[in-house]
Amino acid sequence: MTEGPTDSRDAVVVGGGVAGLSAAVFTARQGLDTLVVDAGESILRRNAHLENFPGFPLGVNARQLLDLLGEQAETAGADRLDARVTRVAAIEGSGDVDGDDSDGDGSDGDNSNGDDPNDGARFAVETDGDDRVRTRYVVAATKNEVGYLDGIDGVGILDRGKAYVDVDERGRTGVDGLYAAGRLAEKPHQAAVCAGHGAEVAVTLLEDDDAPFYHDWVAPEGYFTDRGRDLPPGCEEIDAEERREREAASLDATRERFADPHPDPQETHPSLEE
Ligand SMILES: Cc1cc2nc3c(=O)[nH]c(=O)nc-3n(C[C@H](O)[C@H](O)[C@H](O)COP(=O)(O)OP(=O)(O)OC[C@H]3O[C@@H](n4cnc5c(N)ncnc54)[C@H](O)[C@@H]3O)c2cc1C
């Protein structure tokens, strides 16, 4: 990093394919200020008709699915930036890099109590659009692109013809605050698996953050509270009217999104393009 980054986030997701967008839905819904930076080249854009993604018995246009996932991440509260990340660097002297709760605030990452000059930020992210973002967490979800991670010591890069990031069973890289999700984390080359892994990695991040996270569930009114239980963190109870309103809104949106064929052209392998 040559200059101080200007933007500040809790989490930056690098890569807005199925893995990255799914991760962003979960971090944003739990209140982390989340930015997805995406170069717009999900390999799924080359799919001809997606027939094995859960919930679409006759399949779905893959470009449509990516649009919907992006919209879902935004609805959850995430912002999106069309750009390519060129560098992620560790911020020297960033506080609490060992992941404990040294500031005693109940969260291992949020050192906003004044004892950390970096305010808990561990990483500085740069893009080809000259954006500069400081963040506590990075989720890398860039399929086989790893060059932007060169500036971080301790990231295991696996060369298997294509590059992958070495992670534990929950997507942790071994560098505090840095995670990898989807194909980049050597998950099977399937959209549903990579989307699911993005969600799992985000939940792992939230657990590591000590966020008040239990399950991201929407339950019927009284499901917990009528049984004498507190509403678990991360859960929401909604009454019948609210349920009807949400269902009506989702039906409207679904009708609109699926009224016409998706406008984006079928993409293919670059070697097959003229
Ligand atoms: C022809 C074809 C058909 C397929 N059909 C199916 C199918 O029918 N069913 C199925 O389950 N799977 C299918 N797949 C596989 C599926 O597309 C992938 O497994 C899945 O998309 C992987 O998800 P991901 O999020 O890990 O990676 P991707 O979806 O590729 O997303 C990675 C994202 O990271 C972005 N990125 C990369 N580097 C950077 C950077 N430095 N900064 C910012 N952004 C960056 C890319 O632009 C991209 O948007 C198909 C693949 C192909 C090629």
**End of a domain among 213, 239, 254?**
213
Q: Whose CA is nearest to atom 6 of ligand 1?
A: 47
Choose between 166 and 213: higher pLDDT. 166
Which atom of ligand 1 approaches the CA of 189 most closely?
19
Which atom of ligand 1 approaches the CA of 20 most closely?
25
What amino acid occupies position 203?
A: V
Distance 256 CA to ligand 1 centre (A): 25
Distance 44 CA to ligand 1 centre (A): 5
Q: Identify the pLDDT of residue 119.
A: 77
Both 47 and 82 in one domain: the answer is: yes
Both 160 and 270 in one domain: the answer is: no
Cα angle for residues 264, 266, 269 (degrees, 5° grid)? 130
Both 122 and 229 in one domain: the answer is: no
Distance 6 CA to ligand 1 centre (A): 30
133-152 tens-digit pLDDT: 999 999 999 999 999 999 89
User: Is the residue at 205 inside a domain?
Assistant: yes
What average pLDDT does this structure show over 178-192?
Answer: 98
Q: Identify the pLDDT of residue 114.
A: 52
201-231 tens-digit pLDDT: 999 999 999 888 789 999 999 999 999 999 9
What average pLDDT does this structure show over 59-66?
Answer: 98
Pocket test for ligand 1, best of 35, 38, 43 (most atoms within 8 A of CB): 43
**Domain at 55, CATH number:** 3.50.50.60
Which atom of ligand 1 approaches the CA of 86 most closely?
41
Both 99 and 233 in one domain: the answer is: no
Which atom of ligand 1 approaches the CA of 145 most closely?
38
Both 59 and 180 in one domain: the answer is: yes
Domain containing residue 229: 216-274
Both 73 and 168 in one domain: the answer is: yes
Both 241 and 105 in one domain: the answer is: no
For residue 257, the SS3 value is helix
Three-class SS of 169-237: CCCECCCCCEEECHHHHCCCCCHHHHHHHHHHHHHHHHHHHCCCCCCCEEEECCCCHHHCCCCCCCEEE
Choose between 12 and 211: higher pLDDT. 12
Both 15 and 129 in one domain: the answer is: yes
Distance 187 CA to ligand 1 centre (A): 12
Distance 109 CA to ligand 1 centre (A): 30
Both 28 and 141 in one domain: the answer is: yes
Distance 230 CA to ligand 1 centre (A): 40
**End of a domain among 166, 193, 213?**
213
Both 79 and 124 in one domain: the answer is: yes
Q: Can you read off the two tokens belonging to residue 6?
A: 């200007």
Q: Identify the pLDDT of residue 117.
A: 66
Q: Whose CA is nearest to atom 48 of ligand 1?
A: 42
For 200, counting Cβ atoms within 10 Å of its Cβ (0-12 exposed, 13-18 middle, 19+ buried), the class is buried
**End of a domain among 213, 240, 257?**
213
Both 120 and 236 in one domain: the answer is: no
Both 199 and 228 in one domain: the answer is: no
Which pLDDT band, with edges at 50, 70 and 90, does 265 fall under?
confident
Q: Identify the pLDDT of residue 238.
A: 98
Using an 8 Å Cβ cutoff, are 179 and 201 in contact? Answer: yes
The answer, yes or no, to whether residue 132 has pLDDT greater than 70, is: yes
What average pLDDT does this structure show over 243-272?
Answer: 94
Say if pTM beats, i.e. exceeds, 0.85. Answer: yes
Q: Identify the pLDDT of residue 218.
A: 97
What average pLDDT does this structure show over 62-83?
Answer: 98
Domains held by the chain: number:
2
The answer, yes or no, to whether residue 110 has pLDDT greater than 60, is: no
User: Is the residue at 103 inside a domain?
Assistant: yes
Using an 8 Å Cβ cutoff, are 199 and 191 in contact? Answer: no
Pocket of ligand 1 (CB under 6 A): 14-20, 37-44, 46-47, 50, 52, 84-85, 141-143, 145, 148, 182-184, 189-192, 194
Distance 197 CA to ligand 1 centre (A): 13
Q: Identify the pLDDT of residue 94.
A: 74
Q: Whose CA is nearest to atom 38 of ligand 1?
A: 142
User: Is the residue at 262 inside a domain?
Assistant: yes
User: Is the residue at 2 inside a domain?
Assistant: no
Q: Identify the pLDDT of residue 23.
A: 98
